[in-house]
Amino acid sequence: MTLLCVPLVAKTVEQMMADMAAAKACGADLVEIRLDHLSDFEPRRDLPLLVGDRPLPVLVTYRPKWEGGEYEGDDKQRFEALCLAMELGAEYVDVELKVADDFVRLISGKKPDNFKLIVSSHNYQSTPSSEELSSLVARIQAAGADIVKIATTAVDIVDVTRMFQVIVHCQVPMIGLVMGERGLISRLLCPKFGGYLTFGTLGVGKESAPGQPTISDLLNVYNIRQIGADTKIFGIVGKPVGHSKSPVLLNAAFKSVGLDAVYVPLLVDDLVNFLNAYSSTDFAGFSCTIPHKEAAVGCCDKVDPIAKSIGAVNTIIRRPSDGKLIGYNTDYVGAISAIEDGIRGSQGVGKETVSPLAGKVFVIIGAGGAGKALAYGAKEKGAKVVIANRTYERARELANLIGGHALTLAELETFHPEDGMILANTTSIGMQPNVNETPIRKQALGSYSVVFDAVYTPRATRLLREAEESGATVVSGLEMFIRQAMGQFELFTNLTAPENLMRDTVMRYT
Ligand code: NAP
């Protein structure tokens, strides 16, 4: 079982004791006491409190500046403090590989039975090759480590695969973590690959190394206690991806149906490299978001005809029978059904055969992945599609493709062939943090009876607020988000999506 360790980086002993109690209350298995973060540390005065009164097992670390810590004194005093921590009953002490021989000599013959020495190596620039990592493990083992710890830095998410490989093959317990946002899955998927422990902080800003998630997210979003060797991995591939609510939503949905699966954020720079590196069947499916939806079409072995027509894939599954990647698009149904239901709801009519989009002028702002999905869907439903885009050329290409009309953003302001048109924003204009922006002036909204905004953070965008004030029926991007995620869940699992749970989860987290 991978242990959950909360790093304690408070400046005072009192705060560290309080944080230790908080870590226990959160469900941590142990804490790492970072002595180097204490501003006025006095070993004989402070360690009996910190170690003697510990409510949880402790790992004591006194990291020097030269290994990325805060301690600037000499090793003699540092080692004395670490020895004292060991004598007081600390379950673990961490010492750096560069000085491990000296420390091992110092504690030789004095190690209590339940004590374990962690010998660590940190690389804040990159992640070495598999061969170099293996030889580093061997050197750490030879130095007398009970537990090997290697922390490197992810320049690309692909780097993490090398760490996973080394952990799986390591003969002794190993902590193998890859720092930075691109290394996040090394922290989330530890239990799958057999890492000895992973760090989870008490809150944002309380990290001891770049990229540490909170313990609350580890336990409550990623359900880390349920992850094991057989757990299937799904994730959202994007750049940026940290803001995505998909992990919250899909993990809650997986849990509710008892599926042995986890869904993680994947900050990917190069989709082809990523898919080549993570090619095992353990990585069972991916959601794709900005900027990878269009490139994803070319990365799949087979693409669903609708996704191919749209030219964007937002869901990739790895076919269990042969490992082939199959691409789909669930944005299209998610957005179009949300708009249709919004119109029907406002008119008080049920689901009849004819779409309420049929025959309507349907204006789409944006010609990216979401714009293409909406354009394709609206055309399918018999609407007269108009595309307005910042880059006019892209609007024209999309209009030509689906048989529509193209506009510049300036032309959109006075575009008014008829009343009662439908407007859909598929650009990121108005998205947090730029909540005061809007893709079209309020004065131009009078010609629209229905306005949809793909942006869902915030839920009520400026566009939707002004459209409502202008008398239009508004449809939130949140509705599209829920529906496209339900579509993804069904493709990933072949099960019916737990709609009520997914709606409740989205409402709680957005
Ligand atoms: P994308 O493929 O990168 O396309 C972005 C589009 O927005 C392009 O047409 C781009 O115009 C335009 N754009 C971007 N910044 C602009 C600006 N400052 N001014 C004018 N136009 C701008 O992205 P996407 O995947 O389609 O996503 C677009 C938006 O939809 C995002 O906010 C995303 O979060 C949202 N979305 C929501 C859902 C949902 O479930 N609610 C699903 C998918 C997407 P150019 O062609 O000129 O670059």
| Per-residue confidence (pLDDT) for residue 348, from 0 to 100 | 87
| Per-residue confidence (pLDDT) for residue 170, from 0 to 100 | 96
Q: Report the C-alpha dihedral over residues 324, 487, 373, 479, rounded to 10 degrees.
A: -160
| Per-residue confidence (pLDDT) for residue 349, from 0 to 100 | 86
Whether 243 is catalytic is no
Whether 37 is catalytic is no
Token pair of 259, please? 């599926």
Q: pLDDT class for 353, splitting at 50, 70, 90?
A: confident
The beta strand positions in 161-257, using DSSP E, are: 174-179, 197-199, 232-238
Kindly report the average pLDDT of the chain as a whole number. 97
CA 413 to ligand 1 centroid distance, Å: 19
What span, in angstroms and rounded, lies between the C-alpha atoms of 342 and 467?
Answer: 14
The one-letter amino acid code at 297 reads V
* pLDDT 10s digits, 239-270: 999 989 999 999 999 999 999 999 999 999 99
Q: 388, 365 in Cβ contact below 8 A?
A: yes
Q: Check whether 350 has a pLDDT greater than 90.
A: no
Exactly one of 149, 192, 245, 381 is catalytic; name it.
149
Q: 165, 226 in Cβ contact below 8 A?
A: no
Give the mean pLDDT of 192-202: 98
CA 427 to ligand 1 centroid distance, Å: 3
Query: Scanning the structure block, which residue is given the tokens 């609206």?
Result: 378
| Per-residue confidence (pLDDT) for residue 243, from 0 to 100 | 86
Exactly one of 239, 292, 293, 384 is catalytic; name it.
293
| Per-residue confidence (pLDDT) for residue 67, from 0 to 100 | 98
| Per-residue confidence (pLDDT) for residue 444, from 0 to 100 | 97
| Per-residue confidence (pLDDT) for residue 509, from 0 to 100 | 83
What span, in angstroms and rounded, lies between the C-alpha atoms of 173 and 111?
Answer: 18
Give the mean pLDDT of 91-110: 98
Ligand 1 atom index nearest CA of 478: 41
Whether 122 is catalytic is yes
The DSSP annotation for 267-307 comes to E-S-HHHHHHHS-STTEEEEEE-TTSHHHHHHH-SEE-HHH
CA 455 to ligand 1 centroid distance, Å: 9
Q: Which residues pair with 283 in a beta bridge?
A: 233
Residues with CB under 6 A from ligand 1: 290-291, 293, 331, 366-371, 389-391, 394, 426-429, 431, 454-456, 477, 480-481, 484
* pLDDT 10s digits, 301-332: 999 999 999 999 999 999 999 999 999 999 99
- Going by C-alpha positions, the residue among 432, 426, 433 that lies closest to residue 452 is 426
Whether 169 is catalytic is no
* pLDDT 10s digits, 434-491: 999 999 999 999 999 999 999 999 999 999 999 999 999 999 999 999 999 999 999 9
Token pair of 214, please? 């909170």
Give the mean pLDDT of 76-89: 98
Q: Check whether 352 has a pLDDT greater than 80.
A: no
**Alpha carbon of 263 to those of 72, 227, 246, 250, 401: distances in Å?**
41, 11, 8, 6, 35
Ligand 1 atom index nearest CA of 481: 40
- Going by C-alpha positions, the residue among 94, 80, 89 that lies closest to residue 112 is 89
